[in-house]
Chain A
Amino acid sequence: MTALGKLFRTTAFKLTLVYLTVFALFGAFLLGYFALNTRRLITEQITDTVNAEITGLAEQYRLGGIRRLVLVVDARARRPSSSLYLVTTFNGEALAGNVTALAPGILDNPGWTETVYRRLDESEGPDHPEHEALVRVFQLPGGFHLLVGRDLDERERLYHIVLAAGRWSIAIVIVLGLAGGLFVTRRVLRRVDAMTETTRTIMGGDLSGRLPVAGSGDEIDRLAVNLNVMLERIEALMRGLKEVSDNIAHDLKTPLTRLRNRCEQALRISGSDAEYRAALEATIEESDNLIATFNALLMIARAESGQAREDMKEFDAAEIAHDICELYEPLAEEKGIALKVVANTAAPVTGNRELVSQALANLVDNAIKYAEPPTPAMNGTRPEIVVHALSEGDRILLTVADRGPGIPAADRGRAVERFVRLEQSRSQPGSGLGLSLAAAVARLHGGELSLEDNKPGLKSIIALPRGGPLQKAG
């Protein structure tokens, strides 16, 4: 496609053409209307004055007879103006006036006519063409004819001026409109071309490319900003995918290797039944852990792809906080930790109850896992883990605050990512997917997971959008 062809094909240019046509038609109509009305107005003015003059001259004739009329007409006819006068006898012989060469037969028809004429003071010939005039013929008593009229040149000139102005202005409108349309179209086209170019490089595999944003905040900018957000998300997902494959290599291969080694070793030794049995049991346990890791991965993938959105229902997050704490309380107690829940008011959330429960369970599980057991210095008081469910503005916050070692600020972002297990947690059991799952669940619900310093300890917060009012049974 040629550059020009591309230009003409743009929406902006087509719109320009449509608007231009509409405006030109409207302009032409307006000017035509104006021209015609001007002409009509002038004609009316002429008839009014001619009528008044005829009335005046007829009065002169009534008062002073033909002599006086001839005198008056003669005097008026000498004045330079566009007024035309003629007084004739009944057989057409001119007595006074300033016109000649009238169309034949005019004087016999009283009333209004448009006619050609020549002024008396003009000589004949092709240099002096006949003029047009609007005249009225009046029959005076006594057989005399009185003709009064006005030259129409002025009217025609004005009419033509208006028409010419109209033509010019429409031509200018079209030229300027086309130029403006081309300018706008080219500007738009340039930006779209820039976007296309960037998209091509992105399609080529360079996901770090971003669409140019002009900063004017117009519709193309908004589109570019949104597309950039989308690209960011895609890039994050792709990065996540890559990290997952890297981490699967690590976190799944390690136990798989262990599993294989164990089987090999069991085959090599010629041990007792009990030894074989122990080896098999260890193998099963190892494979169970692998399955758990796979399940967690699938769950995250599902939450992130948004599939679980089908099961969204209204529920009370405060109830979930109570239930999960009830589930974990004996475990906490066994470790000498006090697990408290503060959730008094209803915290309505629309979402997947199961997933939110699991997300909170993961946070509580982590808090218990990393909690430090009570020391003798604590004089019998137990370290606390506090679970809050509260509504804050249009959000529902589910927080788990512990007094454990916490996570250094620099590592908090990373801790939420898939599979990341910070150095100090390598020794702890678990797939390293707990926080990632909680984060994925929060994102699925349009919320987020954040980690804060509990001074000392860690405060994990799942923020979810507040749901509609709960319909309490009874």
Chain B
Amino acid sequence: MRILVIEDDRDAADYLVKAFREVGHVADAAHDGEDGLAMALDGQYDVLIVDRMLPKRDGLSLIGALRDKGIETPALILSALGQVDDRVKGLRAGGDDYLPKPYSFSELLARVEVLARRRGGRSEETVLRVGDLELDRLSHEVRRGTEAISLQPREFRLLEYLMQHAGQVVTRTMLLENVWDYHFDPQTNVIDVHISRLRSKIDKGFSQPLLHTIRGAGYMIRDGAR
């Protein structure tokens, strides 16, 4: 995956580039808005990481200029202003995701991977499958092998989101944002309890667990047999 980091703090940019390379991605850095725009216009990148406050051209106008030129490379906005309305402003300006500073790299990585995958053009499949687990988005039926599993509506949406991103790390904040539509920190790790409940429904009694905890990052659903 090719990632462009547009960030004026050179230390932070270098750190990100190095970290992305370590996990096997190709990453470049631009240090101001104009350079960033020029590089992004090549369209060679799968994901852009854009700091909101940049010299020469700020992050939001950079994304706006890209979108005006018809370049739809997914962009994740990084901002020191971590408030709800800033987030809304960022998304309205054409950003695809928003992460307030300070962030953990694992959170950023998980989000970037989801963004890049989304670009691959996920067809809106009606039946999601991971191993022998099957989720029908129309009839709202879930079964593992031959066994039907009954889920609460929220559990269904949780599983649906995990399965849509099968094989990808999904963080707790991503779950809170996408399944519950909350953008605050609920202090206690409520998500963990929801996951363990879901896990007891889909994994209990099966030799092959599908729902995995990724330490220090979040969760991932994947077919371990593959």
A interface residues, Cβ below 8 angstroms from B: 281, 284, 288, 291-292, 295-296, 298-299, 302, 308, 310-311, 323, 326-328, 330-331, 334, 352, 354-355, 357-358, 361-362, 365, 368-369, 430-431, 434
Contact = CB atoms under 8 A, between A and B. Distances in A.
Nearest to B188: A365
B184 A358 contact: yes
A296 B194 CA distance: 24
Given A361-B182, A365-B188, 14 more contacts: A292-B187, A308-B83, A310-B85, A311-B85, A311-B88, A326-B154, A327-B190, A327-B194, A331-B190, A334-B193, A352-B84, A361-B184, A365-B186, A365-B187
B186 A361 contact: yes
B197 interface: yes
B82 interface: yes
Contacts of A358: 182, 184, 186
A323 B190 contact: no
A364 B151 CA distance: 24
B146 interface: no
Nearest to A323: B180
B47 to A, nearest CB: 24
Given A284-B104, A330-B193, A354 B188 contact: no
B183 interface: yes
Contact of A308 (B85, B100, B196, B216): B85
Contact of A311 (B84, B186, B197): B84
A377 B182 CA distance: 39
A311 B183 CA distance: 14
Contacts of A288: 104
A308 B186 contact: no
A291 B102 contact: yes
B185 interface: yes
Contacts of A434: 187
Given A327-B180, A334-B193, A354 B187 contact: no
A393 B194 CA distance: 37
A295 B185 contact: yes
B85 to A, nearest CB: 6
9 contacts: A291-B102, A292-B185, A327-B180, A330-B193, A331-B190, A355-B84, A361-B184, A365-B187, A369-B188
A358 B197 CA distance: 23
A393 to B, nearest CB: 30
Given A331-B190, A368-B188, A354 B183 contact: yes
Interface residues of B, number: 23
Contacts of A368: 188
Nearest to B184: A358
Q: Interface residues of A: mostly helix, strand, loop or mixed?
A: helix
A171 B88 CA distance: 72
**Which interface residue of B180, B186, B196, B197 has the most chain A CB atoms within 10 A?**
B186
A359 to B, nearest CB: 10
A298 B188 contact: no
Interface in B156-190: 180, 182-188, 190
Nearest to A332: B193
Interface of B: 82-85, 88, 100, 102, 104, 154, 180, 182-188, 190, 193-194, 196-197, 216
- 4 shortest interchain CB distances as A-B pairs: A330-B193, A358-B184, A331-B193, A365-B187
Contact of B184 (A330, A357, A369): A357
A298 B83 contact: yes
A298 B82 contact: yes
Contacts of A354: 84, 182-184
A327 B197 CA distance: 12
A431 B83 CA distance: 19
Contacts of B216: 281, 284
B91 to A, nearest CB: 13
B89 to A, nearest CB: 10
Contacts of B183: 354
Contacts of A281: 216
A146 B194 CA distance: 129
A311 B83 CA distance: 11
**Which interface residue of A302, A310, A357 has the most chain B CB atoms within 10 A?**
A357
A330 B189 CA distance: 11
B88 to A, nearest CB: 8
A78 to B, nearest CB: 109
Nearest to A365: B187
Contacts of A355: 84
A331 B187 contact: no
Contacts of A308: 83-85
B83 A357 contact: no
B154 to A, nearest CB: 6
B194 A330 contact: yes
Contacts of B184: 299, 354, 357-358, 361
Contacts of B188: 331, 365, 368-369
Nearest to B88: A311
Nearest to B103: A291
Nearest to B182: A357
Contact of B197 (A328, A330, A361, A365): A330
A292 B84 CA distance: 15
Contacts of A365: 186-188
**Which interface residue of A292, A330, A434 has the most chain B CB atoms within 10 A?**
A330
Nearest to B83: A302
